Chains A and B, each alone.
Chain A
């Protein structure tokens, strides 16, 4: 793939719930700036893999290194601070806060402002300018003052993306960014994805093959918790086993 040192190095990562093995000895390297997609049938363990990487679930075995640093036992918040960001399959942002506040919270956490109690949040000019910049990139500046819960779902997914950007992760994990979005709003998400910083590595999970093949430069196929194939979109599309197992041909 490339001679550069991997940003993320996963070795022998496994997860079992009792007798049920949902992730099986996964080995994967993700490189800086890479656009990677993770595909597989329902129940293949894609979201579990993301949850293992982000620290939502502790692994049963294996190791995860970020920039050569072991992070396998770190909690979710410390992994975020180390540089792993994610979006969620189902939007779980703050519905009773404005779009601006949702993104502002992420910026405030990253900048270490969240414990400041002696001046109004509105007075933090640098943080405000940064949020305005992120919202402008994703075309959300017009709805900055709108309560998140009042936005159409497609726009809410964009806010998820804005929040992930605000955390400035080295590796961004996108869990089905276009899931549940009406077709006419998918373009918004696509445009948002195209605007992600080039130096940020992105791992996307999605069932929308058109989106995956358009976005990814490398695709990992997961079947029954194990890596079945890794290859370029062309290689994956041409693989008869993948076509039979996943693409249904």
Chain B
């Protein structure tokens, strides 16, 4: 009987890119425990959830699509401004309407910039994504009557979630709201990466030239992947605006893009849970060391990065894979 003939083997013909449903619900069990056990750390949990979503957007673009980006702040900032502008100038103060504006803003900016930056080679794309973020940073200053300029957009009003749950000072509502958005996006990304589109994305990452020989319009596909990642990044930006009720040109700054790349290096590229683990490691590490050594915490972050790159090139997810493999060998 052929290998494909056995029902058990039918699943293995597709590379497993994700963990099971236990792995899926684990982050939300942790979030629930965090909510009940760490009531004074809901603001930190909110930051973590936003970072996870932002990292998921990079995961789609870089980890799965193979598009080198150092300017993902452009979609994060685009989403943040779209949500803020929609609230101030159009009166869209419902958090879900602001989310929709953020996703549309991030996707539109990704489509616009991607059509230009994706035409280059790998290093050119890297540099162009950086430039695109810098241009948008300057645009926020140039069109200060709309964007608030250096002072940013202030006085953003946000309605309670479902008209019931107000965004409070302790960010408890924000924490739950952001975690809920992450859960929905996580589910969508999970569906995406196991779909035909996801298999195609892995092909694009591995060898775009070969995908062209399969008849795939590579440029259009890369643009689509970049736009999907842009929508997710825009959602993360919108969450930032909704939870802080403020947005300034800083959302387009280089350190925003650099931070999320650091998160992905910590967590591991090409795996959804790299975004979760990298964001958790970064946010918790930053919180702890910024309190311990406010002036030198970047040193400790650098040290952590060096250790991860040397000891676990696949990031924290890679480390877990290694541990599981070793455990499997021991059992045998």
Q: Chain B residues near A132 (CB, 8 Å)?
A: 4
Query: Does B145 interact with chain A (Cβ within 8 Å)?
Result: no
Q: Can you name 25 A-B residue pairings with CB atoms under 8 Å?
A: A80-B213, A81-B215, A86-B213, A92-B207, A96-B206, A97-B15, A97-B202, A97-B203, A98-B13, A100-B4, A101-B14, A101-B199, A105-B211, A109-B211, A109-B214, A113-B196, A114-B196, A114-B221, A117-B195, A118-B191, A121-B198, A135-B4, A141-B4, A142-B2, A145-B3
**Chain A positions within 8 Å of B15 at CB level:** 96-98, 101, 147
Query: Is A136 at the interface (CB under 8 A from chain B)?
Result: yes
Cβ–Cβ contact A167 & B215, under 8 A: yes
A80 near B13 (CB under 8 angstroms)?
A: no
For residues 79 through 124 of chain B, which have their beta carbon under 8 Å from a beta carbon of chain A? Answer: none
Contacts of A124 in B (CB 8 A): 196
B232 vs chain A, min Cβ distance (A): 13
Mask for A121-163, Cβ within 8 A of B = 1, else 0?
1101000000010011000011111010000000000000001
Interface residue? B197 (CB, 8 A): yes
Given A113-B196, A135-B4, A145-B9, do A92 and B203 touch, yes or no (CB 8 Å)? no
Q: Is the CB of B14 within 8 A of A116?
A: no
Given contact pairs A77-B215, A94-B206, A163-B214, A141 touches B2 in the complex (Cβ within 8 A): yes
Q: Taking the complex as formed, is A53 at the interface, i.e. its CB lies under 8 A from any CB of chain B?
A: no
B214 near A167 with CB under 8 A, answer yes
Given A98-B14, A142-B3, A121-B199 contact (CB < 8 Å): yes
**CB of A120 closer than 8 Å to a CB of B:** yes
Q: Which of B2, B11, B199, B216 has the most chain A CB atoms closer than 10 A to its own CB?
A: B199
Minimum Cβ distance to chain A for residue B119 (Å): 14
Known: A94-B207, A117-B191, A145-B13. 11 other contacts (CB 8 A): A75-B217, A98-B13, A101-B199, A104-B199, A105-B214, A108-B199, A115-B196, A136-B2, A141-B2, A143-B3, A167-B215
Give complex CA distance A135, B4 in Å: 10
Complex Cα gap A88–B210 (Å): 10
> Chain B interface secondary structure, helix, strand, loop or mixed?
helix
A165 in contact (CB, < 8 A): no
Complex Cα distance, B196 from A115, in Å, reads 7
* B131 is an interface residue with CB less than 8 A from chain A: no
Flag if B4 contacts A144 (CB, 8 Å): yes
CB–CB B212/A77 < 8 A = yes
Cα A3 to Cα B210 in complex, Å, equals: 36
How far does the Cβ of A95 sit from chain B's closest Cβ, in whole Å?
Answer: 8
Q: How many residues of B contact A (CB 8 A)?
A: 35
**Once the chains bind, are B215 and A116 in contact (CB under 8 Å)?**
no
Residues of B within 8 A of A142 (CB): 2-3
Within 8 A of A (CB), among B282-319: none
Which residues of A lie under 8 Å from residue B221 when comparing CB positions? 114
Q: Does B329 reach chain A (CB closer than 8 Å)?
A: no
Known A97-B202, A108-B200, A121-B198; judge A114-B216 contact (CB<8 A). Answer: yes
Residue numbers in A under 8 Å from B211 (CB-CB): 105, 109
A interface residue numbers (CB < 8 A to B):
54, 75-78, 80-81, 86, 88, 92-98, 100-101, 104-106, 108-110, 113-122, 124, 132, 135-136, 141-145, 147, 163, 167
The smallest beta-carbon distance between B220 and chain A, in angstroms, is: 9
Of the candidates B199, B207, B210, B213, the one having the most CB atoms from chain A within 10 angstroms of its own CB is B213
* Interface residues as binary, B124-151 with A (CB distance below 8 Å gives 1, 0 otherwise): 0000000000000000000000000000
**Bound complex: CA of A101 vs CA of B4, how far in Å?**
13
Contact of A118 (CB < 8 Å), options: B4, B12, B195, B210: B195
B10 within 8 A of A: yes
CA distance A135 to B5 in the complex (A): 12
List residues of B whose CB falls within 8 A of some A CB. 2-4, 9-15, 191-192, 194-200, 202-203, 206-207, 209-218, 221, 224
- CB of B199 within 8 A of CB of A105, answer yes
Residue of B nearest to A105 (CB): B203
Closest to A136 in B: B2
Q: Which residues of B contact A114 (CB under 8 A)?
A: 196-197, 199-200, 216, 221
The smallest beta-carbon distance between B79 and chain A, in angstroms, is: 21
Q: Are A116 and B197 in contact (CB under 8 A)?
A: yes
- CB-nearest residue of chain B to A120: B194
Complex CA gap A116/B221 in Å reads 12
Top 3 nearest A-B pairs (CB, nearest first) are A80-B215, A100-B13, A117-B197
Contacts of B196 in A (CB 8 A): 108, 113-117, 121, 124
Nearest CB to that of B214 among chain A residues?
A: A109
Are B198 and A117 in touch, CB under 8 angstroms? yes
Residues of A within 8 A of B197 (CB): 114-117
* B-chain residues with CB within 8 Å of residue A120 when the two chains form the complex: 191, 194-195
- Tell me the complex Cα distance, A132–B200, Å: 19
Are B195's CB and A109's CB within 8 A? no
Is A93's CB under 8 angstroms from B210's CB? yes
Q: Which residues of B contact A141 (CB under 8 A)?
A: 2-4
Which residue of the partner chain B has the closest CB to A87? B213
The answer to whether A122 touches B202 (Cβ under 8 A) is no
Contacts of A108 in B (CB 8 A): 196, 199-200
